[in-house]
Structure 1
């Protein structure tokens, strides 16, 4: 298994199976597994950066007020549905319609 440094992925444009850009990697979500951190999903799209605001009560209220929490343009991509073998050009391994 090849090693991919997360700093090489953050901010990269993600492409659909058809080669269309769906947005940039804004967040990389990981969970603790013993002493390791395991990537579980990637948050991609113009509104993914706003999602960070939802960590606070005030941020969540702002997102709800401006109806940004459920906008199109925010993709949550499970780790196994993103091909990162070429970190310069990550691409989906499924149709973008399948993503949350």
Structure 2
């Protein structure tokens, strides 16, 4: 099992397969499996940061009446879709569908 220091990945730019930036890694979701903690998904983008700061509900409530929902996004990426072999340059293995958030 591979171990990665997640605190060193938070805030890093994530790139697509064409090496174009898609946003910064803002949140990591994990679950306990026995004595291990296993990453299940990554949240990339501005709303991911708001989620990390526990302000996502407030930000959504403020953005919707202003019609700004389209300008602020979050991409939810399943754990195997980010290549962590080079933690200095995070890259998607495959394009993950953009979330409706």
TM-score (norm 2): 0.77
Consecutive unaligned residues of structure 2, counting only runs of 5 or more, are none
Give the secondary structure class of the aligned counterpart of 1:49.
helix
Give the drift of 1:6. 1.0
1:88, distance to aligned residue in structure 2 (A) = 0.6
What's the TM-score once normalised by structure 1's chain length?
0.78
Aligned residue-pair number:
94
Secondary structure of the residue aligned to 2:55 is: helix
What is the RMSD computed on CA atoms of the aligned residues? 2.2
Q: Which residue of structure 1 aligns with residue 35 of structure 2?
A: 35
User: Where in structure 1 are there 5+ consecutive unaligned residues?
Assistant: 55-59
Q: Quick one: distance in 2 between partners of 1:61 and 1:73?
A: 15
